Structure 1
Amino acid sequence: MVTNELTTPTATPLQVARARGRVRGRLILLGPAFVAAVAYVDPGNFATNSAAGARYGYLLVWVVVVANLMAMLVQTLTAKLGLATGRSLPELCRERLPRPVNRMMWVQAELVAMATDLAEVIGGAVALYLLFGIPLLPGGLIIGGAAFVVLALRSRGFRAFEIAIAVLLGVIVLAFAANLLAAGSDPGSAMAGLVPRLQGTDSVLLAAGILGATVMPHVIYVHSALTRDRIPATDDAERRTLFRGQRTDVLLALTAAGAVNLAMLLIAAASFRGGGPVGADSLEGVHAGLGQSIGTAAAFGFAVALLVSGLASTSVGTYAGEVIMQGFLRRRVPLLLRRLVTLVPALVVLAIGLDPTRALVLSQVILSFGIPFALIPVVAFTRRRDLMGNLVNHPLTTAAAALVAVLVVALNAFLLWQVVAG
C-alpha cells in the first residue's frame, strides 16, 4: 500500500513565540536590555550621581541625560550585533582581531570586571550596614555569595533570570520615584542643568564617573551574548522583527534606568545642595541626610534600593565575566573561581578600611577608561555589511556612534592629563 504523507513545515522559534498571543508574543521579545539596564543603576551610580547632586546641585543634569542617550545607542548596537552575527562581541574580537590585540582586550576587560565588582559588592555591603548594622567585610561576603542565588535561575531558562532581574529593577525604580516625590525639586534649576557646563577639575572627574557608571563596558559585552542566545532568526525578515523588539526593549529598559539616575542626582541636589549635612556626598551621608530632610521612610527606601542594586548588578556582572572569558579565550572557568577572582579587590578595599564612596567613584572612572575598548569594536563591526547583513548600520548611525567614541576618548585623555599635571 502506498500512502501519501502530508508534511507540515516546522514552525520557527519566533513563530512559536508569536503564536502565544498578541501580548505574550511581544513580551517574549523583551528582556535582555532589562538585564543590561540593572548595571546602569548599580551602586556606582548611587555614589557618583549623589555626589554630583550634593556638591554641584543641578549642574551635571546634562551629563546624566547625555550619558543615558549614549547608553541607548550603544546597547542598541550591541543587541543588534549579537542578533545579526550569532556571536558575542568577545567572540567576534577573538575571531577578527590579531591574537596580541585580542589578549590585550581580554586583560582590560578583566580589569573592567574587577572594577565593576568593586562597586557592586561595596555598595551592597554599605546597604547591609545601613539596614542591619552588619560590618562591611562580612557584608561584602554576603553580597558576593548571594549572587549565586540569582544566577541559579539561569538553569531554569533565560526567562526566569530576566524576569527576576526586571523585578529587582522595578524595586529600585519605585524606591527612587517615592523619594523624588517626597524630596521635590526645583524644575527651573533642573532645566538649567541641561545646559552643558562644568566647574573645575573635580566636576570633570565626577562627569567621567557618571559616564563610566552609565555606559558600562561589561554590559556592552554581555548584551550581545544575551541576544545571541535568545530566539534564533531563520531569515532576514525574522531578524528585522527581532531587532524591532530589541529596540523597544532598549528604549523601555534604559528609560527606566535613566529616570533612576536622574532621580538620584535630583534628590541629592534638592536635599543637600547649599545646606546638607556633613558628608552628604557619601552613601552613608546621603542615607543620614535623607532621614533628616525627608524622613525615615526615605532613608529606608534608599538603603533597600542600594541593597537590591548591589545584589542584582553583581549577578549580572558575574555573568558578564563568564561571557568575557569564554569569548576572548574560549575558556570556561568554574563559576566559584570566577567569582572569587573578581571579588578579591572589593574585599581588600573593605578590609583595609578605605572610604567606600570614594572607592566607588574611582571605580566608575576606571570603567570610563574601559568604554572605548568595548565601544570602538562595536562601531567597527556593526558598520560591516559582510557581518551584519540587512542589519548593517545606516551611515548616520555609524557617525553618531563614532562621535560617542571620540567624546569618551577625549574625556579620558583630559582626565589623564589632569592626573599627570597634578
Structure 2
Amino acid sequence: MRKGFSFGPATLVAAAFIGPGTVVTASLAGANYGYALLWALVFSVLATMILQEMAARLGVVTQQGLGEAIRKQVKQPLLRWGAIVLVVAAVIIGNSVYQGGNLTGASMGVAGVIGEQAAWLPIVLGGLAAGLLWRGSYVLLERVLIGLVLLMSLTFVATFLLVQPDWTAFFKGLLVPSLPSGSVLTVIALIGTTVVPYNLFLHAASSAKKWQQPEQLNKARRDLWVSIPLGGLISVAIVSTAAAAFFGKALSIEGAADLSQSLQPLAGDWATWLMALGLFAAGLSSSITAPLASAYALSGILGRSGDLKGLPFRLTWIGIITIGVIIASLQIKPVTVIWFAQVANGLLLPIMALFLVWACNHKMMGGYRNSWRQNVLALVVVLVAVGLGARSVGAALQLW
C-alpha cells in the first residue's frame, strides 16, 4: 500500500453497497448461474470507481454534496423541482425499504450465532445504529465502518476459500462475459447492488468533510482504488461460495440463511459461523450508511444544514431507522423485497449518474472539470445501465 494511504469515505461506500441485499442478490446469482455472472461484478466495480471518483472530486473541489450542487446550480425551475422530488422519493421510499432489509439481515446474522431468531433483534440493532449516528462524529462512524468492512472481507473471503471453488469456472466467469437464459434481471440486480445511486450523495458529502483542499484529491483517489475493489472482492466471494454450494445440485435457496446452513457439509461449522458474522457485519454497516446517506442527500437537496448534530439531519436518519425497524419487526419475508429494490436501483442509476456528469462538467468545478476521457467513460457506464434497465422492463412486461 502506498505511503500516506488511509481508509476514508470510499470505505463508507463499500460498507453501504455490501449489505444484506448484496448477500441475497449475489447468493441467488451464484446458486442459479454458477460463476457465469462474475463478469457483471467486474463491470460493476469499474463503473462504481468511475462514478464515485466524480462524486469525491465534486465534494472535495466544491465542498458541496451532490444534492446541494443540484439545488444551487440547476436554474430551470421545472427541472430543479423534478430533481428534488425524485431524490426525496428515492431516499424516503428506497432507503426505508433497504433499512428494513438491512436490519433483517443483521438480525439473521446474530441469530446464526446465538441459535435463535429473536423478535427484539431488529430493535436492538436499530438502536445500535441510532446510537452511533447520534454521537455526530464523522471520525467515529468512519472507524466503525472500516472495521465492519474488514470483518466482512475476512469472513466472506475465508468462507469462499473453505468451500474450494472450481477455479477454471471461476476465472472464465470473471473474464468472459455471458448471459445465460433468464439472467438479465440478475445482472441488473448485481449492478444495482454495487453501483448504488445514494452512494453518490454519501461520497460527495463525506469527501467534503474529510478533505477541504483540491490538492488532497490524490488521497481521495487512493482511498477509492483500495476500498471499492475490496468491496467488489467480497461480492465475488459471495457469488462463488453460493455457486460451489448450490449450482448444479438439487438444492434451493431463498436467502442468506439457506446459504449459511448449506455450508456445513461442505466446509464444517467454521463456514457457517463465518457466514453468520459476515451477514451481521453487512447488515449493521448498511444500517448505518443508509440513514446517513439519506440525511446527506435530503439536507443537500432541500438546503438544510449537513451538520451531523443538526436537528433536520438527525430527524431524517431517525425516520429512516424507525421505518426500517418497523419493517424488520413485522418479519416480512425480505428476499423478494430486497431483490426488486435492487432492480429498481439499477433503473434509477442512469438518472442520478447523468446529474453527476452534468455537475462535474459545470463551471463550478473550475480546472477540475471532467476531461473528455472521463466523460466518455461515464457515458459508457450510463448507456450500459440504460440498456440493461430497458431489457429488465421488457422482461417484466413479458412476465405480465
Q: TM-score scaled by structure 1?
A: 0.86
- Please state whether the residue corresponding to 2:273 is helix, strand or coil: helix
Residue 168 of structure 1 corresponds to: 148
Q: For structure 1, which segment, 109-118 or 74-83, has the greater mean C-alpha deviation from structure 2 after superposition?
A: 109-118
Task: Give, as a single letter, the amino acid of the residue that structure 1 aligns with 2:318.
Answer: R
Q: For the structure 1 residues 161 and 345, does the alpha-carbon distance in structure 2 shift closer, same or farther, using more than 3 Å as the test? A: closer
Q: Cα RMSD (Å) of the superposition?
A: 2.1
- 1:119 matched to 2:101? The reply is yes
Of 159, 171, 176, the residue aligned with 1:191 is 171
- 1:333 matched to 2:312? The reply is yes
Q: For the structure 1 residues 373 and 145, does the alpha-carbon distance in structure 2 shift closer, same or farther, using more than 3 Å as the test? A: farther
- 1:267 matched to 2:267? The reply is no
- 1:344 matched to 2:323? The reply is yes
Residue 282 of structure 1 corresponds to: 255
| C-alpha distance in 1 between matches for 2:371 and 2:162 | 44
| C-alpha distance in 1 between matches for 2:313 and 2:207 | 23
Shift of 1:75: 0.9
Task: Give, as a single letter, the amino acid of the residue that structure 2 aligns with 1:264.
Answer: I
Is the 1:198–1:204 contact (alpha carbons within 8 Å) kept by the matching residues of 2? yes
> Which runs of 5 or more residues in structure 2 are unaligned?
305-310
Is the 1:44–1:120 contact (alpha carbons within 8 Å) kept by the matching residues of 2? yes
Residue 388 of structure 2 corresponds to: 411
Of 121, 125, 148, the residue aligned with 1:143 is 125
Task: Give, as a single letter, the amino acid of the residue that structure 1 aligns with 2:347.
Answer: F
Shift of 1:350: 5.2
| C-alpha distance in 2 between matches for 1:96 and 1:390 | 17
Task: Give, as a single letter, the amino acid of the residue that structure 1 aligns with 2:96.
Answer: M
- 1:243 matched to 2:217? The reply is yes
Q: For structure 1, which segment, 353-362 or 61-70, has the greater mean C-alpha deviation from structure 2 after superposition?
A: 353-362
| C-alpha distance in 1 between matches for 2:17 and 2:313 | 26
Residue 24 of structure 2 corresponds to: 47
- Please state whether the residue corresponding to 1:59 is helix, strand or coil: coil
| C-alpha distance in 1 between matches for 2:228 and 2:93 | 25
Residue 307 of structure 2 corresponds to: none
Q: Deviations over 1:194-218 (max 9, x none)?
A: 32221233x1111111111101111
1:253-332 equivalences under 5 Å are 253-275=227-249, 278-331=251-304
Q: For the structure 1 residues 337 and 65, does the alpha-carbon distance in structure 2 shift closer, same or farther, using more than 3 Å as the test? A: closer
Shift of 1:336: 5.4
Q: Percent identity?
A: 24
Shift of 1:375: 1.0
Shift of 1:134: 4.6
Residue 358 of structure 2 corresponds to: 380
Shift of 1:288: 0.6
| C-alpha distance in 1 between matches for 2:59 and 2:294 | 17
1:198-209 equivalences under 5 Å are 198-201=179-182, 203-209=183-189
| C-alpha distance in 2 between matches for 1:138 and 1:87 | 39
Shift of 1:349: 6.1
Residue 203 of structure 2 corresponds to: 223
Shift of 1:113: 1.9
Q: Deviations over 1:207-236 (max 9, x none)?
A: 111111101111111100011122322xxx
Q: For structure 1, which segment, 158-167 or 50-59, has the greater mean C-alpha deviation from structure 2 after superposition?
A: 158-167
Shift of 1:345: 5.6
Residue 341 of structure 2 corresponds to: 363
Q: For the structure 1 residues 413 and 343, does the alpha-carbon distance in structure 2 shift closer, same or farther, using more than 3 Å as the test? A: farther
Residue 6 of structure 1 corresponds to: none
Q: For the structure 1 residues 357 and 396, does the alpha-carbon distance in structure 2 shift closer, same or farther, using more than 3 Å as the test? A: same
Shift of 1:27: 4.0
- Please state whether the residue corresponding to 2:120 is helix, strand or coil: helix
| C-alpha distance in 1 between matches for 2:325 and 2:130 | 17
Is the 1:119–1:363 contact (alpha carbons within 8 Å) kept by the matching residues of 2? no
Residue 376 of structure 2 corresponds to: 399
Q: For structure 1, which segment, 338-347 or 291-300, has the greater mean C-alpha deviation from structure 2 after superposition?
A: 338-347
Shift of 1:358: 2.5
> Which runs of 5 or more residues in structure 1 are unaligned?
1-21, 234-238
- Please state whether the residue corresponding to 1:333 is helix, strand or coil: helix
Shift of 1:133: 4.3
Shift of 1:359: 2.4
Residue 79 of structure 1 corresponds to: 56
| C-alpha distance in 2 between matches for 1:65 and 1:287 | 25
